[in-house]
Copies of this chain bind each other. A is one copy, B any other.
Amino acid sequence: MTVKFEKRVHFYETDEMGVVHHSNYIRWFEIGRVEFLRAVGITLKDLMADGILFPLTEVNAKFLNPSDFDDVLEIKTTATELTKVKMAFDYEISRKSDGKILVTGHSQNVFTNADTGKISRLPDKYYSKLESAKKNLQE
């Protein structure tokens, strides 16, 4: 299951090299996983209201081509692992106008209890929603 999200690059996301600052792609990976979860019916707001946090434990990115302000990008997010304690996603960010792949990446999150900070198992009401996405993983 892959979820797509379009994002225009803003001027404040560029740097003095005349391109998008690389740290922004790491931020946009976050948009990707938020939209992935929304697509399966889970919002971060609901998770947080239930005292569940989802800190990132690992991220990596390869920067293949630069982009610039006004570019319209497509963030493609694919789940590679969805369990009750963690999620992993692959990302591909490309430019709509020419289809060029700009950045690829991967991240891992765990679920933690907001009060204790410890890893906690995702309640069934959320996990059941992830399962539909998992089925699509195997296709």
Contacts and interface: CB of A to CB of B under 8 A. Distances in A.
B27 A10 contact: yes
A3 interface: no
Contact of A63 (B15, B30, B48, B58): B58
A59 to B, nearest CB: 6
Which applies to chain A's interface (DSSP): helix, strand, loop or mixed? mixed
Contacts of A15: 11-12, 14-16
User: Copy number of this protein in the oligomer?
Assistant: 4
A10 to B, nearest CB: 6
Contacts of A12: 15, 21, 23, 27, 30
Contacts of A45: 68-70
Interface of A: 10-12, 14-19, 21-24, 26-27, 30-31, 34, 43-45, 48, 53, 55-63, 66, 68-70, 117
